[in-house]
Structure 1
């Protein structure tokens, strides 16, 4: 498995799992029914951020995007988002992408990484981020509309890179 910078040629491989994950509605607050063009604009980061793909034998299994959490005076803290194809889950793709994102932020001089909205019922993601050193620094109660569980909390998670 390799992780590399995503190009516009990768979007057709990212789009199907991006769409499927968003339409299930359990982990991301993106609007339902987004077009491929809208999703591409939301997912494919421009500098100073970056979007990457993890591929195996030429097949894209997952993607992450990263960059500053805020512009200007908040740009020293990064953020990131991750998506893994359903048929690649349980193979360590999310962990590899997470490790890559942490290293990318360190290499680019960020002071920390803040995840603004980790759905509290997304147990696999919460456990992974905690395994990588992130702490839950707060939870916004009932901030996310889960189709299966109703309103659930969104964790704010932070990793100090200092």
Structure 2
């Protein structure tokens, strides 16, 4: 499989028992289904969400996107989604992939994406719980984030609630839309605990 980083997915788990999983979001009562990404049903919605995020320009470093670059970045390894039960529309998802090649491939990176109209529904917490669970199942030993912009308090709060610790800060790491240069945190979560 070709990837944005030029290395392959961790061998091992490719199917996951218990999926799809139905969830009622406690904050809003919204009923969603958590499942593995399926290209035939999820691609269009996930790419639209990604276009919104890139256009917003405040949480990821990309300033442009194409379907090909989205596939290489977000869909290159393990990807999971949340769908509305009633309409089957995909409203968010996350990837888990190695952050580095070879001898450091035990460190996973993850990225979360939620459709704008479904933010503040508590979905980020459900996502992070599953990021941790499935990263362990896939065989990673830790999660490491490269760029959580300091202007994204929701992501920082979710990460810290789920045991991530700050291990670094990159000054002026992103020139974000409407914000200018913003620092980014590097966060680490040991998966053995």
| TM-score, scaled relative to structure 1 | 0.92
Provide runs of 4+ in structure 1 moved above 6 Å: none
8 Å Cα contact 1:62/1:94 also seen in 2: no
The residue aligned with 2:139 is: 109
Bigger helix share: 1
Say yes or no: does 1:38 pair with 2:69.
yes
Query: How many residues end up aligned between the 2 structures?
Result: 158
- Superposed CA deviations along residues 72-105 of structure 1, whole A, max 9, x for unmatched, are 1001111100100011111121111111110011
Say yes or no: does 1:51 pair with 2:82.
no
Among candidates 135, 138, 155, match of residue 125 of structure 1: 155
| TM-score, scaled relative to structure 2 | 0.78
- Superposed CA deviations along residues 7-57 of structure 1, whole A, max 9, x for unmatched, are 21211011111101111110111132x222322232112xxx301111121
8 Å Cα contact 1:61/1:93 also seen in 2: no
- Superposed CA deviations along residues 102-130 of structure 1, whole A, max 9, x for unmatched, are 00112223221000111111001101110
The residue aligned with 1:29 is: 61
CA RMSD in angstroms comes to 1.2
Distance 1:89 1:50 in 2: 22
Larger radius of gyration: 2
Say yes or no: does 1:75 pair with 2:98.
no
**Gap change, CA 1:54 and 1:147, over 3 Å in 2:** same
Show structure 2 runs of 5+ residues with no match.
1-31
Distance 1:36 1:106 in 2: 29
